[in-house]
Amino acid sequence: MDRRDFLRRLCLLIASTGMTGGMSAAAWARIIHKDYDASRHYYGMGIDVDKCIGCGRCMQACKTENAVPAPPFYFRTWVERYVIKTDRSVTVSTISTEGVQPTDGIVEKDMVRSFFVPKLCNQCAHPPCVQVCPVGATFTSDDGVVLVDTKRCIGCRYCIQACPYGVRYLHPVTRVADKCNFCYHRLVRGLLPACVEVCPTQARLFGDLKSVASPLGRFVRMNKVHVLKPYLNTDPKVYYANLDGEVN
């Protein structure tokens, strides 16, 4: 390399770093996520029931991030309030996104235990919804996220029936099945799902099961974890710590 060549390359290098350095975060994300290799990840979520305060911020953030319809029966994630009373009866109600708790007329004296349980798609390793889809519109990607192909889905509602956790709904506008996908567009950019991002008490944790150092790796090592409906052998990847036996 002669001197002229060296100087030309130096100028090019400075110019190119200047250009890329001045790019917006969104432009960066576009470049980064094209290098995203799904086979190197396997995502899961950890939920510490003892930390959930039932503020509903996750439900609101999910609706904002994923443009979920506003009416309070369309949810990709939601929080249930469990009340176990002295007569051993169990009341379950979904809290509102406005943080206003349902007034169910339960007096504190009658409560034995009460807590909040956040719920979302369990991203099962053996998903019943994938099995039943007649057109192959729903599938598990390499990083362990169950996705819905909105162009292929015919809106037959078979998956909505098959899901044992009730996480799917029929989108009123697109008329296809919709559900939580761990905010897939955020994962590929290296961001946390919106619900995990806004959770004020870190009741929700997100991580990569293929990485020992991820927060989820620590969560499943340090807690006694449980999954929902383990007897169905769906092998969920949403792990609950301090889960009460009454939750199903």
Partner 1 sequence: MKFLQKLPEQALRILVVFVILATGMLLVRQFVIPADMKDMTLIQTATMEREADKEAKYAGAAVCVQCHEKQQEIKRGGYHRDLSCESCHDAAQKHADSPTEVKPVSPRKRDYCVYCHSYNASRPTGFPQINPDTHNPRKPCITCHNPHNPKPTQPPRSCAACHAQIERTKAASYHAQLACTVCHTTPEKHKTEPRTVTPTKPDKREFCGKCHSEGKGAKGVPTVDMATHGEKYVCWQCHYPHMLGGI
- Contact residues for partner 1, defined by CB under 8 A: 24-26, 29, 33, 36, 38, 50-57, 61, 64-65, 81-83, 98-99, 101, 108, 111, 114-116, 136, 139, 141, 147-152, 181, 183-186, 188-189, 191-192, 194, 197-202
User: Which of 75, 121, 158, 131 has its CA nearest to residue 236?
Assistant: 121
User: Which of 76, 109, 24, 107 has its CA nearest to residue 181?
Assistant: 76
Q: Closest CB to partner 1 among 74 and 139? A: 139
CB of 10 to partner 1, least distance (A): 28
CB of 8 to partner 1, least distance (A): 33
Q: Closest CB to partner 1 among 122 and 181? A: 181
Q: Which two tokens stand for residue 99?
A: 């943080």
Phi/psi at 50 (nearest 5 deg)? -65, -20
CB of 1 to partner 1, least distance (A): 37
Interatomic CA distance for residues 15 and 231, integer angstroms? 60
User: Which of 117, 219, 128 has its CA nearest to residue 179?
Assistant: 128
CB of 172 to partner 1, least distance (A): 19
Q: Closest CB to partner 1 among 197 and 232? A: 197
* Burial class, 178, CB count within 10 angstroms (exposed 0-12 / middle 13-18 / buried 19+): buried
For residue 170, the SS3 value is: strand
CB of 24 to partner 1, least distance (A): 5
For residue 245, the SS3 value is: coil
For residue 194, the SS3 value is: helix
Q: Closest CB to partner 1 among 90 and 232? A: 90
Q: Would you give the DSSP letter of residue 96?
A: P
Q: Closest CB to partner 1 among 38 and 232? A: 38
Interatomic CA distance for residues 148 and 151, integer angstroms? 9
Q: Which residue has the tokens 């955020």?
A: 186
Rounded alpha-carbon distances, angstroms, from residue 248 to 112, 115, 174:
18, 14, 30
CB of 127 to partner 1, least distance (A): 14
Q: Closest CB to partner 1 among 4 and 86? A: 86
Q: Closest CB to partner 1 among 198 and 238? A: 198
CB of 4 to partner 1, least distance (A): 39
